Amino acid sequence: MFPVARAALNLTARGIQRTAVRQAHRKYEPNFHDKYGNLVLLGGATVFTAVWAYVFTKAGIEWGLSPVGRITPKEWRE
């Protein structure tokens, strides 16, 4: 089984080498991420901020207030 695995790895390495050599001779063309990557990142950050701002304003959370003195025990019902 070892020679079969070694042969498979050798074929995989040759394929990677051929692809690398082929791509080294090509002219560099910007791909989608080069063209629109920063725009997509800023758009995602904007949507993320807007959604969480909406959630936090609608949730009614009171930030940083201590419950001491605000919580009083209810009267005991018998």
> Between residues 65 and 41, which one has the greater pLDDT?
41
Q: Is residue 25 part of a domain?
A: yes
Residue at 75 is within a domain: no
Is residue 69 in some structural domain? no
Question: What is the CATH number for 49?
Answer: 4.10.51
For residue 40, being part of any structural domain is answered with yes
Q: HEC string of the chain? A: CHHHHHHHHHHHHHHHHHHHHHHHCCCCCCCHHHHHHHHHHHHHHHHHHHHHHHHHHHHCCCCCCCCCCCCCCCCCCC
Q: Which domain holds residue 7?
A: 1-56
- Whether the per-residue pLDDT at 52 is higher than 90: the answer is yes
Q: Which is more confidently placed, 66 or 37?
A: 37
Is residue 78's pLDDT more than 90? no
Flag whether the pTM goes above 0.75. no
If one counts the domains in the chain, the total is 1
